[in-house]
Chain A
Amino acid sequence: MADTAKPKGGGTARSTGGRRRSRKDTAPNIADEQPKTLLDYYRQMLLIRRFEERTAQAYTQARIGGYCHLNLGEEATIVGLMTALQERDYLFTNYREHGYAIGKGISPRSVMAELYGRSTGVSKGWGGSMHMFDTQTRMLGGYGIVGGQLPLATGAALAISYRGGDEVVMCQMGDGTTNIGAFHESLNIAALWNLPIVFVVVNNFTGMGTTVEKSSAEPELYKRGSSYRMEGVRVDGQDVLAVRDAATDLVERARAEQKPFLLEAISYRMKGHSVVDPAKYRTAEQAEEAKANDPVLAFERQLEEAGILTEEIKQEIADSVRDEVTDAADFAENSPHPEVSTLFDYTYATPVPNESRRMPADPVFAE
């Protein structure tokens, strides 16, 4: 199931095998799992699926502005990764993060209200789709600049290490990010300073339209940690249990051993780069492949075959998810926009004299 890239170079002996269960040998089996747990994963995955479908609808109805990148097709990866984190652990992501926000514990209401640009949104309507942030659940941001979150996440891990804390940082990114300087600088620093962080590359084989093969000289992205003697693991991102196990393993090792890891989750983006992208650059076969790899349907089938997801439970979950998403959209719709009077509230945390509070048509000197 999972390949590992063992760092070469003798100086730093790392125990990559031995006491660790090898994912290769023991692919997770749903027979070993509690039915309740599996149904919970299924519900979370379905929630993200329905939430994103509702988001796309609201976007085309112009209830949501700006760019809008969806997590459709990444549900297994997200739920697996978020299950691996403890509440006290921190998460940094890129701009395709609605599902991560929900998975880290932010209510769908707050996420949808943020998409609608309302003051009840998780970032009070200041961030939008790409900038979900919540101190409480330690989701420390979706970031709109490719690679921007990596140095920040590394710094958060530095703060943990500085204080001797036992939290771990997870830093999610897309495949294209592995080519930017911030990726290499951050992995180097995290490895040099032994920081408790797991970098996660969600590899859906496409930047916006440019493929991994066309942009990465080492297209097996989990191997890119080797330059920093950082262990890399590749996992099937369509398999929620495999992702959970691989991520849990690395998160707990980062915590115990105080060092960084790189995890690559192979995933499929089911739609275009953003809601407005028809993905014409994809061949019919590629589109079919993504569809055939629908992680929610696959997991559903698996649970049905195992007799865990009965028709009745399936309907129950479908109804409750639908209600939750409808409730989130209604909440967003009925929430107020931020007051214009709050425009200058968040420029500075420490107020100082002569901060500008000038509106566009105001004179510089209002007397």
Chain B
Amino acid sequence: MSVITYRQALRDTLRAEMHRDENVFLLGEEIGVFEGSYKITEGLLKEFGERRVRDTPIAEEGFVGAAIGAAMLGLRPVVEIMTINFSLIAIDQIINHAAKIYGMFGGQTSVPMVIRTPGGGGQQLGATHSQNIELFYSFIPGLKVLAPSTPAEAASMLRAAIRDDDPVLFLENLGLYNTKGEVPDGDESVAEIGRAAVTREGTDITLIGYSRMAMVAGQVAEKLAAEGISVEVVDLRSLRPLDRDTIVESVRKTGCAVVAEDDWLTYGIGAEIAASIQEGAFDYLDAPVRRVAMAEVPMPYAKPLETAALPSIDSITTAVKETLSAVGRRVG
């Protein structure tokens, strides 16, 4: 067992998959000579050469589409889009093409590709560089959307994404790259796409998150445990397909739930979770499902404003306690 960063887990996995399969190659802006804006691809150009680590022009629609076309001929491109905000420039290729080609042509060709891209606010990057728009992709049948929250999951889920025959949007997070976690040495595990996980068992309330918010949910649970509150944490892991059974099973046990999401509340991923809970656990609910989400503003630059707009340990803690007190349970 080694303790490594989320960044290192991604890099190690990319490297191992490129050694494993000649069809796996990387393309994206500044991933080669510059070694990646967030240094995920550090050292890979030197090791694999320009054929397999391809710097692209700043042309998201062009290079994402090129990856799709290459995947149609059986290669397994892993595209890096510098941040999820820039995926908007490629959205026609992702939604109208990658997601459609398998079905639209009657299953004649699959699109085995991965789009790696980080979301996440909190870096003072302002309105256009701090969005969490994974919802757009999670909405689309034909895409798979993964959102790992730990280094170990990042590795096993990236392995799964690369080996899967469908287009996978692999959501990373700027706030997770430097986080550390245990990864088994020589780990070859391949995550099952489409499964959520109960990452901490509890009995009082279910707290649901994904990506960075799953990590924060764990921290909230840890903190509340000290106050005698038993929080069950569900990490969604896969935003599409969505594992509603795991969520509902947990809520049936605890009787109440809070969703922590890094996106905006209205029409957001939490809305889908809340709707699923009311349908699957209506008779078990002792309180309305609460959602903790970003303030609905274009993200400001100034630090106090940005901090106030983002979900935090404190705001999630408050929502958990208020939900528990709404059902008349003991609040620490």
Footprint of B on A, CB under 8 Å?
A: 90, 92, 121, 123-127, 131, 133-135, 140-141, 143, 145, 148, 150-160, 162, 181-182, 185-186, 188-189, 192-193, 345-350, 352-356, 363-365
Closest to B69 in A: A155
B166 near A348 with CB under 8 A, answer: yes
Q: Which residue of A123, A126, A155 contacts B70 across the interface (Cβ within 8 Å)? A: A155
B61 near A181 with CB under 8 A, answer: yes
Residue numbers in B under 8 Å from A157 (CB-CB): 69
- A124 and B248 contact, Cβ closer than 8 Å, known pairs A148-B93, A353-B195, A364-B279: no
Chain A to chain B: the 5 pairs with minimum beta-carbon distance, closest first: A151-B65, A155-B69, A185-B62, A124-B106, A349-B110
A-B contact pairs, 29 of them (CB 8 A): A126-B103, A131-B105, A133-B105, A133-B108, A135-B109, A141-B105, A145-B96, A151-B62, A151-B63, A151-B66, A152-B66, A154-B69, A155-B77, A156-B73, A159-B69, A185-B57, A185-B63, A189-B56, A192-B57, A346-B102, A349-B111, A349-B166, A352-B164, A352-B193, A353-B194, A353-B241, A354-B194, A354-B243, A365-B248
- A123 and B104 contact, Cβ closer than 8 Å, known pairs A185-B57, A352-B194: yes
Interface residue count on the B side (C-beta < 8 Å): 58
- A182 and B65 contact, Cβ closer than 8 Å, known pairs A123-B105, A352-B241: yes
Q: Which residue of A182, A349, A352 contacts B107 across the interface (Cβ within 8 Å)? A: A349
Footprint of A on B, CB under 8 Å?
A: 25, 51, 54, 56-57, 59, 61-75, 77, 92-93, 96-97, 101-112, 141-142, 144, 164-166, 192-195, 238, 241-245, 248, 276, 279-280
- Give complex CA distance A302, B102 in Å: 44
Residue numbers in B under 8 Å from A124 (CB-CB): 106-107
B57 near A356 with CB under 8 A, answer: no
Residue numbers in A under 8 Å from B166 (CB-CB): 348-350
- Give complex CA distance A186, B69 in Å: 12
- A155 and B144 contact, Cβ closer than 8 Å, known pairs A346-B107, A354-B241, A365-B279: no
B103 near A346 with CB under 8 A, answer: yes
Q: A126-B104, A148-B65 are in contact. List 14 more A-B contacts (CB 8 A).
A: A125-B106, A131-B104, A153-B69, A155-B67, A181-B61, A182-B92, A185-B57, A186-B65, A188-B62, A193-B54, A347-B102, A349-B102, A352-B238, A364-B280
Nearest CB in chain A: distance from B143 CB, A: 9
Nearest CB in chain A: distance from B301 CB, A: 29
- A354 and B109 contact, Cβ closer than 8 Å, known pairs A152-B65, A154-B69: no
